[in-house]
């Protein structure tokens, strides 16, 4: 117990670092991954405006980034990271690969959410003379909203877990704390404290996400 | 009002024979009329209906609605023309995460009605027409099938179109609800002079609602007659579906499978299924009029 109290400043610091990583990476992934996911849906071979060739190319790039183990991506894009944030170590340097990995991750979830909506309302909108943009904004994103909130939740939880690998470039965070103090220094109580905090964090994110998704879903009788 | 001239639609799939869904159809629908189009599944009825608002662009031929040749339009011009053509569907096709009023408002948004007050006024008006004002703030999941279709009708009418296209609008509804929905269609046709084209496989719907009937088979319109003919003594439709319209509906053979299937004695049981697919729609359960007909249905 004394040990945990002694480590409180570090634990505090680590929580802040985790928050920083998630608070930057996830909104960026949503902001950039959503249009990418919509693009993949619209230009799919059987989509609203098929562009089979460029779709295959973009889809391939998305698959490539998605198949990199995060640890390797973290190292592989160090030059790019240095270019963007001016350094290859520290929390800011972890945010770059986290975001790069989260964008295609979230884009695939968006694509899946929209694809499974069914084409009825889209066809009705086309018959009403809607533009493609109007259909995306007023129909697809509206009906996909509960699914999209669920996808943001899943992405956040996954990337809280990924952020634990940030220690490799000195990025910090609560997962990194568990590894450094708990594993390397055999401070089991510190490790347990860190893990309990991560479980609480994930539980909170999941709980909030589920509540928000349900509140936005009118597709089932209340 | 609507004029289809030598319209053909083929679907080309890579590595497969192109499929001709619509084969040289010419059809005129006069202003204010209710045109029924009947045919079995796969006859091309829905594709022909989609040809009218170019949801499915014909491979050849011309389509005009209200004097505008739609087949010569694309992009914004085509979308503008579609604001004058309402459409309802078998599956209602509402946006499930929007309320009834928001669903109806959508067609006005798409039609470019900028002023929100104006939109809401016209939404209220449209909901009034199909008597569903009390459900304005309810979501589709809380409605019955008939109510959903009425919302879809309100959505289609909100932009005050000249034409209403109906794709199997009652096929998912029970007979009582069907009657209600058809009554609303008849009312809007009478009150607003909207030209209605209704595609269906239900002969009751044709008999109850249509002014003119077109019979489709294998992508072609094989027979046309005024619906009043159906009530005339001695009217003799050429096609088996036309005859079916005069019959009393489904007549079952309750005497067993081998009783009077034409040619069933010549084949072993293994040929039974094959025969079903080649011949009339349901060899055992068939309309009385079809039983004696020599011209196959396909």
Whether B15 and B118 share a structural domain? yes
DSSP codes joined into one string, B184-212:
HHHHHHHHH--EEEEEES-HHHHHHH-SE
Cβ separation B93–A121 shorter than 8 A? yes
Whether B267 and B199 share a structural domain? no
A10 touches chain B (CB under 8 A): no
pLDDT at B221 over 70: yes
Tokens 């994930």 belong to which residue?
A: A202
Query: Nearest C-alpha of chain B: how many angstroms from A158?
Result: 28
Whether B100 and B177 share a structural domain? yes
One CATH from 3.40.50.300, 3.40.50.2300, 1.10.3720.10, 1.10.10.10 for A19-170: 1.10.3720.10
pLDDT at B282 over 70: no
Cβ separation A121–B96 shorter than 8 A? yes
Whichever domain contains B54, its CATH number is 3.40.50.300
Whether B201 and B85 share a structural domain? yes
**A197 or A167, greater pLDDT:** A197
Whether B176 and B210 share a structural domain? yes
Residue B37 inside a domain? The answer is yes
Residue B88 inside a domain? The answer is yes
- How does residue B262 score in pLDDT terms, banded at 50, 70 and 90? low
- What is the Cα–Cα distance from A64 to A48, expressed in whole angstroms? 25
Residue B298 inside a domain? The answer is no
Whether B74 and B97 share a structural domain? yes
ipTM of the complex: 0.84
Count of domains for chain B:
2
Whether B225 and B255 share a structural domain? no
Query: Nearest C-alpha of chain B: how many angstroms from A30?
Result: 21
- What is the Cα–Cα distance from B205 to A115, expressed in whole angstroms? 34
Exposure string over B208-218, b if 16+ CB within 10 A, otherwise e: bbbbbbbbbbb
- How does residue B255 score in pLDDT terms, banded at 50, 70 and 90? confident
pLDDT at A18 over 70: yes
pLDDT, position A2? 81
- How does residue B268 score in pLDDT terms, banded at 50, 70 and 90? very low
Residue B168 inside a domain? The answer is yes
A221 touches chain B (CB under 8 A): yes
Whether B78 and B177 share a structural domain? yes
Q: What is the arithmetic mean of pLDDT over B136-156?
A: 95
CB atoms within 10 A of CB A111: 22
Cβ separation A129–B110 shorter than 8 A? yes
- How does residue B286 score in pLDDT terms, banded at 50, 70 and 90? very low
Mean pLDDT value across chain B: 86
Determine contact, residues A162/A80, Cβ cutoff 8 Å.
Answer: no
B111 touches chain A (CB under 8 A): yes
Determine contact, residues A172/A19, Cβ cutoff 8 Å.
Answer: no
For B61-85, how does the pLDDT look when each residue is reduced to its tens digit (9 = 90+)?
A: 999 999 999 999 989 999 999 999 9
For B83-132, how does the pLDDT look when each residue is reduced to its tens digit (9 = 90+)?
A: 999 999 999 999 999 999 999 999 999 999 999 999 999 999 999 999 99
Tokens 């496989």 belong to which residue?
A: B201
Q: How far is CA A67 from CA A51, A63, A113, in A?
A: 24, 6, 21
Share of chain B above pLDDT 70, in %: 86
Q: What is the arithmetic mean of pLDDT over B31-39?
A: 95
| Residue of B55, B89, B142 lying closest to A120 (CB–CB) | B89
Scanning A163-187, the segments in alpha helix (DSSP H) are: 174-177
pLDDT, position B271? 43
- How does residue B259 score in pLDDT terms, banded at 50, 70 and 90? low
B87 touches chain A (CB under 8 A): yes
- What is the Cα–Cα distance from A145 to B128, expressed in whole angstroms? 30
Residue B111 inside a domain? The answer is yes
Q: For chain A, what are the domain ranges?
A: 19-170
Q: Residues in chain B, how many?
A: 298
pLDDT at B257 over 80: no
Enclosing domain of residue B69: 2-239
Of B212, B239, B266, the residue that ends a domain is B239
Cβ separation B165–A142 shorter than 8 A? no
Interface test with A, best of B84, B110, B157, B164 (most A CBs within 10 A): B110
Opening angle at CA B88, ends B182 and A43, nearest 5:
165
Helix (H) or strand (E) holding B157: helix B145-157
β-bridge mates for residue B27, sequence order: B4
Tokens 């009385």 belong to which residue?
A: B288
Nearest CA in chain B to A144: B97
pLDDT, position B86? 96
Sheet holding B212-217, edge to edge: B85-88, B163-167, B195-200, B34-38, B212-217, B220-226
């Amino acid at each position: 117990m004394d040990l945990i109290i002694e480590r409180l400043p570090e634990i505090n610091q680590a929580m802040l670092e985790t928050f920083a990583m998630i608070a930057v990476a996830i909104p960026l992934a949503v902001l950039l991954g959503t249009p990418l996911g919509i693009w993949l849906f619209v230009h799919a071979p059987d989509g609203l405006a098929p562009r089979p060739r460029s779709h295959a190319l973009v889809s391939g790039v998305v698959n490539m980034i998605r198949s990199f183990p995060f640890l390797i991506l973290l190292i592989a894009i160090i030059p790019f990271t240095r270019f963007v944030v001016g350094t290859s170590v520290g929390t800011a340097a972890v945010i770059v690969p986290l975001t790069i990995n989260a964008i295609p991750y979230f884009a695939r979830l968006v694509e899946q959410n929209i694809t499974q909506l069914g084409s009825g309302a889209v066809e009705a909108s086309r018959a009403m003379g809607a533009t493609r943009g109007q259909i995306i904004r007023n129909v697809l994103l509206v009906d996909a909203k509960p699914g999209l909130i669920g996808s943001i939740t899943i992405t956040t939880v996954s990337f809280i877990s990924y952020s634990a690998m940030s220690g490799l470039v000195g990025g910090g965070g609560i997962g990194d704390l568990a590894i450094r103090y708990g594993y390397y220094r055999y401070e089991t109580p510190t490790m347990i404290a860190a893990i309990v905090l991560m479980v609480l964090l994930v539980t909170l994110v999941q709980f909030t996400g589920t509540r928000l998704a349900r509140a936005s879903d009118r597709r089932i009788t209340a | 009002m609507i004029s289809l001239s030598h319209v053909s639609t083929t679907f080309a799939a890579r590595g497969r024979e192109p499929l001709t869904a619509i084969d040289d159809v010419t059809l005129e629908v006069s202003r204010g009329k209710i045109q029924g189009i009947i045919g079995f599944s796969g006859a091309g009825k829905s594709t022909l209906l989609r040809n009218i608002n170019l949801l499915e662009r014909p491979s050849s031929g011309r389509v005009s609605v209200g004097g505008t040749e739609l087949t010569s339009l694309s992009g914004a011009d085509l979308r503008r023309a579609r604001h004058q053509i309402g459409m309802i569907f078998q599956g209602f096709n509402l946006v499930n995460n929007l309320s009834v009023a928001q669903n109806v408002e959508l067609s006005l948004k798409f039609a470019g009605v900028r002023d929100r007050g104006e939109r809401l006024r016209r939404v209220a008006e449209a909901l009034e027409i199909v008597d569903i004002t009390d459900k304005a703030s309810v979501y589709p999941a809380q409605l019955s099938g008939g109510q959903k279709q009425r919302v879809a009708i309100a959505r289609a009418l909100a932009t005050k179109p000249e034409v209403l296209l109906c794709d199997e609008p009652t096929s998912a509804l029970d007979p009582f609800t069907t009657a209600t929905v058809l009554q609303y269609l008849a009312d809007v046709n009478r009150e607003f002079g909207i030209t209605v084209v209704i595609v269906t496989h239900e002969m009751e719907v044709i008999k109850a609602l249509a002014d003119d009937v077109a019979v489709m088979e294998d992508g072609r319109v094989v027979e046309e007659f005024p619906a009043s003919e159906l009530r005339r003594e001695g009217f003799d439709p050429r096609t088996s579906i036309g005859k079916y319209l005069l019959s009393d509906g489904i007549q079952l053979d309750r005497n067993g499978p081998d009783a009077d299937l034409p040619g069933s004695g010549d084949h072993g049981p293994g040929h039974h299924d094959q025969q079903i697919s080649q011949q009339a729609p349901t060899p055992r359960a068939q309309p009385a009029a079809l039983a004696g007909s020599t011209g196959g249905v396909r």
